[in-house]
Structure 1
Amino acid sequence: MSIALDARIVRTRQALRQAMIDLAAESPLETITVRAIAARAGVGYATFFRHYVDKEALLADVADMLTGAFLQQVRPLLRQKDRRGAARELCAFVEANLPIHQALIAGGSGETVRAGMLRQTLETVGRARSSPSHEPLDELLLFHLTSAILNLLAWWLRNLDRVDADTMAEIIERTVLTPVGAIRRQPPGGFGETTE
């Protein structure tokens, strides 16, 4: 009984996440209601609240799911230190899921959703690390990396007609990934020191 119940919970959550993604392709985020999400998912209105306290909690779950899926895709490239490949993969992933990323990152809810997405991304990336870091610089670099990329993506999603995915990948690689990689290679205590 427990396994069947767990499978039903997983299916319902998947249906609700997919409904949110589908509706984001059709309507502005702020106009999407819980009732519409539940109807699209094929579940009752009250069932929604057995899984999520509100629409923002569902959005956070969608953001976490997308972040996890992206990290799974890009992890081999990051292990190979292929920053350009990772940036290209990021932009391709955003393009493949364009409506929900526009809603989450560059949509009308803007800062509130992005702040939640930043938190979710930091938690997901932190959990995905091979070994936890207790160094303040590592935490700061992860925060900078994540927030800088989200800000660049927000700008790009508002300017898709001006910048293609390859150019955006190069911008992300050159302005964020490579500089952060250079800082991480600094010897302990070497950050901030000048060599003259």
Structure 2
Amino acid sequence: MDPRIARTRHSLQRALFDLLGTRDLEDVTIADIVEHAGVNRSSFYQHYSDKDTLLADAIDSALAGDGAALPPLMELIETDAIAAIVAYLGHFEGNIDVYARVFGPHGSLVAVARLQQHVQGLAREGIESSRTQVFDGMPIDVAAAGIAGSVVAVVGAWIAMEPRPGLDVAAAWIWRVLLGPGAEQGGADPGCGSA
């Protein structure tokens, strides 16, 4: 990608992410974004058709910038799962005002769907590589979508809680959702990996 294009996109992404720290998405205008980014309005439309897609890209960029991507499901199982999930959730906690708005009643279905899409890809990869029989008779994409929807819903519910439980608690909830029913009867220990 041309460095100028990358810089402009990053500026727009950072601007919207910053603005969401203090305002709902519906209250942020394109004019606000371009002013904060230091670019002109036509630059916005050269790169984005709407604020929701910009927000989804901004979240991707922020997660990557913080090194907060969830590892593939099989890596979670083979390592200290809680620590990996805590690192992921730490990004959300560090930007809680933004994510309270993203997941809130005036948030962005597009951005939440993008988060779910990422988790779904990890879940699909994990199901395929594990060769588990738990989902026999069910399309892998359906099982992965169920897992992803559950994980993202837990993140959204945790963000909305007042008072908000700690990262370890939320990570343990996500781990339980990932393991599913029967986790207490011989499920993988979230901290027993080989690492």
TM-score by length of 2: 0.72
Kept after mapping to 1: 8 A contact 2:68/2:88: no
* Aligned equivalent of 1:17: 13
* Aligned equivalent of 2:179: 178
Q: Using the TM superposition, name which of 49-58 and 137-146 deviates more.
A: 137-146
- The letter for the 2-side match of 1:157 is I
SS of 2:59's equivalent?
A: helix
CA RMSD of aligned residues (A): 3.3
Does 2:39 correspond to 1:37? no
SS of 1:75's equivalent?
A: coil
Does 2:46 correspond to 1:50? yes
Equivalent of residue 152 in structure 1, options 138, 151, 154: 154
Q: Distance in 2 between matches of 1:44 and 1:32?
A: 16
Count of residues in correspondence between the two structures: 174
Equivalent of residue 89 in structure 1, options 84, 87, 90: 87
Kept after mapping to 2: 8 A contact 1:63/1:104: no
- Counting only pairs closer than 5 Å after superposition, residues 163-174 of structure 1 correspond to structure 2 as 163-174=165-176
Q: Using the TM superposition, name which of 58-67 and 149-158 deviates more.
A: 58-67
* Aligned equivalent of 1:60: 56
Runs of 4+ in structure 1 over 6 Å off: 130-133
Unaligned runs of 5+ in 2: 130-135, 184-195
Q: Do the aligned partners of residues 107 and 21 (structure 1) sit closer, same or farther apart at CA in structure 2, a change above 3 Å counting? A: farther
Q: Percent identity?
A: 26
Q: Distance in 2 between matches of 1:180 and 1:8?
A: 49
Q: Distance in 2 between matches of 1:120 and 1:74?
A: 9
Using the TM superposition, give the Cα deviation of residue 66 of structure 1 relative to its aligned residue in structure 2, in angstroms: 4.4
Deviation per CA, 1:135-186, whole angstroms, max 9, x where unpaired? 9543223212211111111111111414222211111112x1222897xxxx
Q: Distance in 2 between matches of 1:148 and 1:54?
A: 27
Q: Distance in 1 between matches of 2:60 and 2:182?
A: 24
Using the TM superposition, give the Cα deviation of residue 96 of structure 1 relative to its aligned residue in structure 2, in angstroms: 1.9
- The letter for the 2-side match of 1:152 is V
Q: Do the aligned partners of residues 126 and 172 (structure 1) sit closer, same or farther apart at CA in structure 2, a change above 3 Å counting? A: closer
Kept after mapping to 2: 8 A contact 1:145/1:180: no
Kept after mapping to 2: 8 A contact 1:88/1:169: yes
* Aligned equivalent of 1:187: none
Q: Distance in 2 between matches of 1:11 and 1:180?
A: 46
- The letter for the 2-side match of 1:86 is A
TM-score by length of 1: 0.72
- The letter for the 2-side match of 1:177 is L
Equivalent of residue 99 in structure 2, options 91, 97, 101: 101
Q: Do the aligned partners of residues 120 and 168 (structure 1) sit closer, same or farther apart at CA in structure 2, a change above 3 Å counting? A: closer
Kept after mapping to 2: 8 A contact 1:25/1:99: yes
Unaligned runs of 5+ in 1: 183-196
Equivalent of residue 143 in structure 2, options 141, 144, 147: 141
Q: Distance in 2 between matches of 1:52 and 1:34?
A: 10
Using the TM superposition, give the Cα deviation of residue 35 of structure 1 relative to its aligned residue in structure 2, in angstroms: 0.8
Q: Using the TM superposition, name which of 138-147 and 67-76 deviates more.
A: 67-76
